[in-house]
Structure 1
Amino acid sequence: MRGFEALQPFRNPRFSLYFGGQVVSNTGTWFQNLALSLVILELTGSAQALSAVTVAQFAPLLILGIPAGRLADHIRPRTILLVTSAASALVGLALAVAVVSTPVDLVLMYALVFLLGCINTFDRVAAQAIIFEIAGPETLTRSVSISTIALAAARSVGPGLAGIAFSALGAGWCMVMNAGSYVLVFVAIALIRPSRLHPRPRVDRTTGTAPVALLRNRAFVTILVVNSAIAMLALNLMLVITSTVSLSFRGDATMVGAAHALNALGAIVGGMLAATPASVPVRALRYGCAGLGLALLANAAAPNLTVFLVLAPLLGLGVGFYQGVLQASAQASVAPGQLGRAMSFVTLGSYGVAPLGAILMGGVIDASSGQVALLVGGVTGLVCAAFVWWRAGGRSTAG
């Protein structure tokens, strides 16, 4: 019966709309990212050049992450999501034009990806902050954990479909499909009526929505440190998996899509496991980190593409469980009125360090191989598990 408890959030039709929109959005993002990755690898043959996409995509978080959280604490996240989905659709169409131009202008593509990254900074924070308003405090933990499955569900179908679309229709149509996904997200969010949302309590300014107040929270700081380290060194999977399949094992676009899809199937199971408990304390993060680390090490040891594909669901299981536990424990460790700024810190850790991580892992891959990058990630996961054990092994999340 405990497995059915994990599905409790879907009894809420507003959560189902939100979840469906996130699946569609993330599926569209895979069409964009896979097409961009293959175009750039075809043009340059360099993992460093591919890492520049990650830099352009996530660098805006370093500048706009905190303001995005402040905005999400003052404006309804629903309003922010309506604006960001409409703007993202327009930039997606511009990318479609850029990739079919002759010759392909890499600088223009990077610039458009950077612009989309600016929009997505506000989108990601608002998408996390709205979960409380949709679910309310009673089902918040399970709703947050289940929401991470949207990423995995998108990866289960997105890469495979994107690989087929790229081979059959080309990069331009992949970008058009991504733009269309944002239109569907806009419709899903518009159907969630504001009157049915739970109001978030406002925190008195004197007691702290300021960043310094969050950074006094021991549990939350533990989460931030682990999140940043793993995001930088262990979760550059678009870069690492794509490079490993393409450059190390000489696989084609279909094999790249298959690797990501198999990884995602495991992530769905991992997310379900994370959503089973009614509450997730920060000390549970040690198991998430350890599982992720061991899964990365197993994939690093794969001697050929066949074994790598067989092990891909195991890596997904580790990723899904880790992300579910991370997001649930982060939202549970702060007051509802702090969620906007708190999740901006988490988003900053998850994506803001991605540019530096992409540069580092791109250099590792060019100097050695994707397997070595997976090895680095595995060791990082185990070190972070030990860190959580030390910081919160026997402590409550109150901090």
Structure 2
Amino acid sequence: MTRGGPTAALQPFHNRNFSLYFAGQVASNTGTWFQNLALSLAVLDATGSAQALSGVTIAQFLPLLLLSVPAGRVADRFRPRSILLVTSIASAAVVAGLALLTLAPTLPLGPLYALVAALGVVHTFERLAAQAIIYELVGPERLSTAVSLSTIALASARSIGPGLAGVAFAALGPTVCLLVNAGSFLLVFVSVLLLRPARMFPRVMRDRRAPRFRPPRALATLLVVNVVIALLALNLMLVLTSTVTLSFGGDAAAVGAVHTLNAVGAIVGGLIAAGRTTVTVRSLIVACAVMGAALLVNAAAPTLGVLLLLGPVLGLGVGYYQGVLYAAAQGSVAPEHIGRTMSWVTLGNYGMVPIGAALIGWVIDLSDGRVALAIGGTAALACAVFVALRLGRRGEAPGAVTD
């Protein structure tokens, strides 16, 4: 295992373009918490139906299932900066439309689902462009570190977003929460607009006449691990919330605390992953083992207090795994194939959301949230063994990132 320490982990922030991008992503992901909470509570208040709320999730993720691969091709054929400028303005406009709907005396579900689906379409292209642009911001030498750091934007937003969103909803209502999210997309637009193209590292755009890209063995291994972990180990919003409330009888404050502590640990895990100077698919052996151990330790928590104390440990394991996963995925292919590659990773991650939620929800109803944590931990350890056996001692294809 090769490491570069905390100084190496923070080097991408010396790059003005990357710092602007990172700030925009933190703002956007924080705003997303305002939207998710506002829509969830507004729909439940209007209908009292969990089925009606599930329609929001379906509308949000179905476009991603259908369009991830085409969006990856677009990210490999057009400059990600141009795509992000378009998607940020489009997202702001759609979310503003959702805000207007919440002003109606009776919340119209049909138009709401339609706008959420439209936002899902935009976000599919935005997610892939946001991954593809990292190479152009920092170049090949800092790619591994920058990709790992980018995962911290999600954890940072998760550490502050839910609490701020809850206060804003209670004081100001759903309309203001949605307008906050619309404003966050405008901040993304400004941050992307301020990027200096002259200081970027343009990728060679993929030629439509080029032979079809076939994933190397190491990348195929990563994609299998990604699906298994997403299916069985990463439904933490559902699992942790159920464990706190159903297993230990905790209240809303305890739920918020466990997710916040988990997010803080994820920031630390992301920083550790960013401190590595070499990231390959073989790095998933340790990353999966660390996450598996963290899940199993949390599964053994006998009380709510112990679960809260272990929250940062679980977050560290998840943050380290995600940092390594994304860095290894981008580093295992040529720059012109990053968009396509990340479309497969994104499809595996988010495509498993509804399936995993249904499966793990069934497990929790039959047993306990801690059983779900144990299943996730066992799956992660099995993935560590799978990577070790599949890759053996052979080197990986050129493209692994080293700085």
> TM-score by structure 1 length?
0.90
Do 2:134 and 2:143's aligned partners in 1 also have CA atoms closer than 8 Å?
Answer: yes
* Pairing of 1:328-339 with structure 2 (within 5 A): 328-339=327-338
For 1:144-155, list aligned pairs within 5 A: 144-155=147-158
Code of the residue aligned with 2:358 in structure 1: it is I
Question: Does the CA-based 8 Å contact 2:258-2:308 persist in structure 1?
Answer: yes
SS of 1:87's equivalent? helix
User: 1:202/1:183 Cα in 2 relative to 1: closer, same or farther (>3 Å)?
Assistant: closer
Native 8 Å contact 1:285 1:326 kept in 2: yes
Residue of structure 2 in register with 1:278 after alignment: 277
Counterparts in 2 of 1:62-81, with a 5 A limit? 62-81=65-84
Paired with 2:246 and 2:118, the residues of 1 have a C-alpha distance of 29
Q: CA RMSD in A?
A: 2.5
Q: Is residue 245–residue 255 contact of structure 1 (8 Å, CA) maintained in 2?
A: yes
> Which whole-Å deviations, capped at 9, do the CAs of 1:335-391 have from their partners, x for residues lacking one?
011111111111111212222222323333444443333232222211211111111
Preserved contact between residue 48 and residue 362 of structure 1 (Cα < 8 Å): no
Partner AA of 1:232 in structure 2: L
* Partners of 1:233 and 1:380 within 8 A in 2: yes
Alpha-carbon separation, structure 1, partners of 2:116 and 2:376 = 26
Distance 1:183 1:340 in 2: 24
Other-structure match for 1:325: 324
* Unpaired runs of at least 5, structure 1: none
Q: Which residue of 2 aligns with 1:255?
A: 254
Query: Given the alignment of the two structures, is residue 178 of structure 1 paired with residue 181 of structure 2, yes or no?
Result: yes
Evaluate the alpha carbon distance shift between residue 230 and residue 52 of structure 1 in structure 2; reply closer, same or farther with a 3 A threshold: farther
Partner letter of residue 352 of structure 1?
G
* Residues 310-336 of structure 1: CA deviation (Å, up to 9, x unaligned): 221111101110000001111110001
How far apart, CA to CA, are the structure 1 residues paired with 2:267 and 2:47? 34
Taking a change above 3 Å as real, the CA distance of residues 41 and 340 of structure 1, as seen in their structure-2 partners, is same
Shift of 1:40: 5.5
- Confirm or deny: 8 A CA contact 2:46 2:107 kept in the other structure: no
Shift in alpha-carbon separation, 1:246–1:36, aligned structure 2, 3 A: farther
- Matched with 2:287 is 288
Aligned to 1:3: 6
Q: What displacement does 1:287 show?
A: 1.3
- Asked whether 1:346 is paired with 2:349, we answer no
> Could you say which residue in structure 1 is the equivalent of 2:381?
382
In the alignment, is residue 397 of structure 1 matched against residue 396 of structure 2? Answer: yes
| Residues 356, 110 of structure 1: alpha-carbon distance in 2 compared, 3 angstrom cutoff | farther
- Matched residue SS, 1:138: coil
Contact 1:70-1:340 within 8 A present in 2 as well: yes
Please say which of residues 259-268 and 41-50 is displaced more in the overlay: 41-50
Count of paired positions: 395
Give the deviation of 1:39 after TM superposition.
5.0
Distance (Å, rounded) in 2 between the aligned partners of 1:376 and 1:168: 40
Is residue 166 from structure 1 mapped to residue 169 from structure 2 by the alignment? yes
AA aligned to 1:313 is: P
d(CA) in 2 for partners of 1:220, 1:267: 24
**Superposition pairs of residues 98-117 of structure 1, within 5 angstroms:** 98-99=101-102, 101-117=104-120
Q: Which runs of 5+ in 2 are unaligned?
A: 399-403
Partner of 1:223: 222
| Superposition deviation, residue 393 in structure 1 | 4.2
TM-score (normalizing by structure 2): 0.90
> Does the 8 A contact of 1:236 with 1:358 survive in 2?
yes
Q: What is the CA–CA distance in structure 2 between the aligned matches of 1:326 and 1:107, rounded to whole Å?
A: 37
What is the Cα deviation at residue 245 of structure 1? Answer: 3.5
Q: Give the Å deviation of 1:203.
A: 5.1
After superposing the two structures, state which structure 1 stretch, 42-51 or 284-293, moved more.
42-51
Aligned AA for 2:280?
A: P
Query: Shift in Å at residue 175 of structure 1?
Result: 1.9
Cα deviation per residue 1:124-152 (whole Å; 9 max; x = unaligned)? 00000001111011111111111111111
Q: Distance in 2 between matches of 1:224 and 1:112?
A: 31
**2:77, 2:282 → 1: CA distance?**
31
Instruction: Report the CA distance shift for 1:60/1:368 in structure 2 as closer, same or farther (over 3 A).
Output: farther
C-alpha separation between the residues in 2 aligned to 1:12 and 1:235?
Answer: 32
Which residue of structure 1 aligns with residue 314 of structure 2? 315
Determine helix, strand or coil for the equivalent of 1:307.
helix
* 1:38 Cα offset (Å): 4.6
Provide the C-alpha distance between the structure 1 equivalents of 2:299 and 2:37, rounded to a whole number of angstroms. 22
Q: 1:259 to 1:382 in 2, by over 3 A?
A: same
SS of alignment partner, residue 396 of structure 1: coil
Shifted more, 287-296 versus 66-75: the winner is: 287-296
Change in CA separation of 1:244 and 1:50 when aligned onto 2, cut-off 3 Å: farther
Tell me what 1:189 maps to: 192
Relative to structure 1, the CA distance from residue 181 to residue 256 in structure 2 (aligned partners, 3 Å threshold; closer, same or farther) is farther
Matched AA of 1:25: S
Change (3 A) 1:254 1:86: farther
CA separation in 1, counterparts of 2:366 and 2:42?
A: 22
**Distance in 2 (alpha carbons) for counterparts of 1:388 and 1:62:** 26
Change (3 A) 1:386 1:54: farther
Comparing 159-168 with 73-82, greater Cα deviation is found at 159-168
* Structure 1 CA distance for aligned equivalents of residues 42 and 377 of structure 2: 29
The 2-side partners of 1:125 and 1:157 are apart by 25
Amino acid paired to 1:338 = H
Indicate the percent of aligned positions where both proteins have the same amino acid. 61
Residues 262, 191 of structure 1: alpha-carbon distance in 2 compared, 3 angstrom cutoff:
same
1:190-238: per-residue Cα shift (whole Å, max 9, x none)?
1113232211124566664x3xx333x0011011111111112211223
Corresponding residue for 2:21?
18
Between 52-61 and 152-161, report the one with greater CA deviation: 52-61
SS in 2 for 1:201: coil
Which whole-Å CA distance do the structure 2 matches of 1:190 and 1:331 have between them? Answer: 24
Paired with 1:104 and 1:244, the residues of 2 have a C-alpha distance of: 32
Residue of 28, 32, 35 corresponding to 2:35 = 32
For residue 304 of structure 1, report the CA deviation from its aligned partner. Answer: 3.8
Per-residue deviation, 1:119: 1.0
2:358 is aligned with 1:355: no
